[in-house]
């Protein structure tokens, strides 16, 4: 494999990073909305959001990408493939992150929100200043775990036809007929992205577990 | 927007889609069984006295958990023939699913084994229980109970990831739907319906797992 091929893989890697970053950031924003709706104590809203989460957790990411990709085209949005994939990943991430953060919001001791109420803090201040900072801390290991999941999930964009790292690997491997070398390198690049995050997440988890002992 | 939804190709293709569901279930069940075998074997090696073996298992787990399943399945698809093993895409997919699920199973099962303390076993023996009884009632059942929720949700994830096996055209629901889509160009209709199928499959699995959990893993309440 020559340097030209490697550069092609690196361009694919760039798109993988872009997809992961956009999916994660937008997914975080939407996921916060999902988590707040899920803990809003408005029964109808909670049920609708619970259904949203169940749908995204009960279907393959690949199908979600297909449905979003073709669904958006169908209702008249002419979008680039990467935008459609980013929207699909955002929806996927919002459901998973929403569920993770619901759990951590509920894990904040009840006394905290009672105390905030007793101090007559309104909903926004109660959430922003009291509950969410604590919930964020609790949720950090799981959130990082999901980020790794999302980075790996961007590889499915290749099946939809977008040239990110995995599809770049496919193209190169069809050109030079060295699939093992190419996919070995592709795998190594994913590993280099994900492994530091995994280690960081595990370390945080250990730290929090020690602190709560 | 002047597009009318047309589900006729989906309805015509219903028999092959249902067969595809069976293919998905076959992949999932075989993958789970292989994952359990790899999981138990891996845990035994993971706590072995030989350092190289332990490191081998740790690297295997981290390697699998930090790379996409799609890349793993491609790698295996090309690596097996080079190693002299010629398999159809479907068995290849099962092996890939088993290896992937196995890595996660090792971590989960290990947590279960560690949750049983030695003192419990000794207490069981001291109460005059037979060795087999101690193993069944005091070690196996609580360990299974401890790992059951995470193991089963991992299995649901494994079932959903069978859709990725369509990349090497293994026989399952997604590849069947891709064939129908390429013949009819009704992409949205086909994929929407198949998404509903997956939702039903994973929902049924969760119900089934919950049923077993209630049947076998709840403490008797008086």
Q: What is the pLDDT of residues B45-62, one digit of tens each?
A: 987 888 999 999 999 999
pLDDT in tens, A89-135: 999 999 999 999 999 999 999 999 999 999 999 999 999 999 999 99
Comparison of pLDDT for B222 and B214, the residue scoring more: B214
Across the range A51-76, mean pLDDT stands at 94
Q: CB atoms < 10 A from the CB of A92, how many?
A: 24
Contact B174 A63 (CB under 8 A): yes
Query: Which residues of chain B lie closer than 8 angstroms to A169, CB-CB?
Result: 71, 74
**Could you tell me what percent of chain A has a pLDDT over 70?**
99
Residues whose CB is less than 8 angstroms from the CB of residue A158 and which lie 6 or more positions away in sequence, other chains included? A164, A166, A167, A170, B70
Which two structure tokens, joined as six digits, stand for B172? 């399952």
Flag whether residue B198 sits within 8 Å of chain A, measured between CB atoms.
yes
Contact B66 A61 (CB under 8 A): no
> What does the pLDDT read at residue B181?
92
> What does the pLDDT read at residue A73?
87
Whole-angstrom distance, CA of residue B208 vs CA of residue B222: 25
Angle in degrees, 0-180, between the axes of helices A132-153 and A3-38, rounded to the nearest 10:
140
Which two structure tokens, joined as six digits, stand for A148? 């790794």
pLDDT in tens, B80-123: 998 888 899 999 999 999 999 999 999 999 888 888 888 888 89
Does the structure show a pLDDT above 90 at A86? yes
CATH of the domain at A43: 1.10.3720.10
* Of B45, B67, B63, B44, residue with least CA distance to B54: B45
Task: Show the domain range for A165.
Answer: 3-211
The secondary element (H helix, E strand) that includes residue A93 is: helix A81-107
Whole-angstrom distance, CA of residue B86 vs CA of residue A40: 55
Interface test with B, best of A59, A153, A181, A190 (most B CBs within 10 A): A59
The domain B13-216 is placed in CATH, from the list 3.40.50.150, 1.10.10.10, 3.40.1280.10, 1.10.3720.10, at 1.10.3720.10
Across the range B152-169, mean pLDDT stands at 95
The distance of A131 to chain B (nearest Cα, Å) reads 27
Residues 46-85 of A with CB under 8 A from B: 54-55, 57-64, 66-67, 70-71, 73-76
- pTM for this structure? 0.91
> What does the pLDDT read at residue B175?
95
Per the CB < 8 A criterion, the answer to whether B32 and B101 are in contact is yes
Contact A159 B62 (CB under 8 A): no
For chain A, the domain total comes to 1
Does the structure show a pLDDT above 60 at B222? no
Residues whose CB is less than 8 angstroms from the CB of residue B176 and which lie 6 or more positions away in sequence, other chains included? B13, B16, B17, B19, B20, B23
Give chain A's mean pLDDT: 94
């Amino acid at each position: 494999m020559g340097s030209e091929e490697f550069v092609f893989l690196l361009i694919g890697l760039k798109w993988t990073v872009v997809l992961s970053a956009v999916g994660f950031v937008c997914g975080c924003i939407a996921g916060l909305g999902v988590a707040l709706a899920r803990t809003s104590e408005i029964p109808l809203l909670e049920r609708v959001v619970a259904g949203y989460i169940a749908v995204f957790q009960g279907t393959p990411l690949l199908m979600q990408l297909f449905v979003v990709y073709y669904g958006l085209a169908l209702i008249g949005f002419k979008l680039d493939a990467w935008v459609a994939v980013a929207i699909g990943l955002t929806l996927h991430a919002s459901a998973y992150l929403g569920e993770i953060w619901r759990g951590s919001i509920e894990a904040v001791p009840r006394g905290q929100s009672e105390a905030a109420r007793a101090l007559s803090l309104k909903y926004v201040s109660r959430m922003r200043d009291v509950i969410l900072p604590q919930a964020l801390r609790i949720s950090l290991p799981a959130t990082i775990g999901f980020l790794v999941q999302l980075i790996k999930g961007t590889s499915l964009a290749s099946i939809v036809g977008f040239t990110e790292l995995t599809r770049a690997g496919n193209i190169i491997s069809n050109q030079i007929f060295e699939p093992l070398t190419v996919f070995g390198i592709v795998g190594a690049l994913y590993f280099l992205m994900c492994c530091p995050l995994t280690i960081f997440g595990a370390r945080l988890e250990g730290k929090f577990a020690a602190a709560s002992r | 927007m002047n597009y009318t939804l047309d589900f006729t190709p989906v309805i015509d293709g219903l028999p092959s889609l249902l067969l595809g569901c069976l293919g998905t279930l076959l992949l999932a069940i075989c993958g789970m069984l292989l994952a359990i075998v790899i999981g138990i074997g891996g845990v035994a090696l993971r706590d072995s006295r030989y350092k190289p073996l332990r490191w081998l298992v740790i690297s295997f787990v981290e390697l699998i958990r930090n790379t996409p399943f799609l890349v793993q399945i491609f790698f295996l698809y090309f690596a097996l023939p080079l190693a002299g093993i010629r398999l159809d895409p479907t068995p290849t997919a099962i092996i890939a699913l088993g290896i992937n699920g196995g890595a996660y199973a090792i971590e989960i099962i290990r947590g279960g084994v560690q949750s049983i303390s030695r003192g419990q076993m000794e207490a069981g023996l001291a109460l005059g229980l037979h060795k087999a009884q101690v193993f069944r009632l005091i070690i196996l059942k609580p360990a299974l109970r401890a790992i059951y929720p995470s193991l089963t949700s991992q299995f649901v994830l494994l079932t959903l990831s069978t859709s990725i096996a369509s990349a090497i055209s293994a026989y399952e629901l997604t590849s069947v739907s891709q064939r129908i889509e390429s013949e009819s160009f009704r992409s949205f209709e086909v994929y929407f319906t198949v998404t509903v199928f997956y939702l039903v499959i994973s929902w049924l699995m969760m119900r089934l797992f919950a049923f077993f959990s209630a049947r076998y893993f709840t403490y008797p309440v008086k």
